Amino acid sequence: AAGVIQSPRHLIKEKRETATLKCYPIPRHDTVYWYQQGPGQDPQFLISFYEKMQSDKGSIPDRFSAQQFSDYHSELNMSSLELGDSALYFCASSRYDSGKENIQYFGAGTRLSVL
Amino acid sequence: GDSVTQMEGPVTLSEEAFLTINCTYTATGYPSLFWYVQYPGEGLQLLLKATKADDKGSNKGFEATYRKETTSFHLEKGSVQVSDSAVYFCALRAKAAGNKLTFGGGTRVLVKP
């Protein structure tokens, strides 16, 4: 079965540079979530989109922005990178189904290293 | 706010030993509860879930029961294998707070042959 695809898998950037992470949800999934997992930390929710509209916002820095496109893929744009942005970034997707638990399926993550 | 607390690791066990990972939560209302597993170098995989009180989630020999009275969702497996070595995350979705997941700190489990 198709899974959530994230690219790139690894990314190395310098401080103050920008980075773009991409996420391709499972086919027919309409909701995308972004999480950040720092070293030895639990994943922290950043932001989510449903049907191309932002649906929820967590602890996402103002330097970050994200969007969901017409084909439902999503991109997380990160600017003015800081050392503390080094983390594993997960994307998850789900399909909205009223009255049912919308299970989130996770991608393998993008490991961002800021030097 | 919503939070999940789980026992710290690492937990080191021998093969065929009994595994328990404690998880308690704080949330508004009655959240849905999940256990996710993360194998080395991989993403999070849903292991099991429970959406209401007294529900029991089970998968691959793992079980967890949603206990409203004790706000707990402890993970158990009767006989672990080396392949169960991973990091286990307890998580909740507070239904009044949208669909975002709130995770516990994770528990690393190492099973030795």
> Which one of A101, A102, A110 makes the best mutation probe of the B interface by having the most chain B beta carbons within 10 Å?
A101
Quick check: helix, strand or coil at residue A10? strand
Taking only the tens place, the pLDDT of each residue in B90-107 is 999 987 767 899 999 999
Question: Any idea what the Cα angle at residue A61 is, between residues B105 and B103, rounded to 5°?
Answer: 20
**Are B43 and A109 a contacting pair at CB < 8 A?**
yes
Tell me which residue has tokens 């706010």. Answer: B1
**Are A43 and B43 a contacting pair at CB < 8 A?**
no
Determine phi and psi for A28, rounding to 5 degrees.
Answer: 75, 0
DSSP label at residue A27: T
How does residue A1 score in pLDDT terms, banded at 50, 70 and 90? low
Q: What is the pLDDT of residue A11?
A: 97
Q: Which amino acid is at B32?
A: S
Taking only the tens place, the pLDDT of each residue in A48-61 is 999 999 999 998 99
* Whether B70 contacts chain A with CB within 8 A: no
- Residue B112 CA to residue A33 CA, distance in Å, equals 35
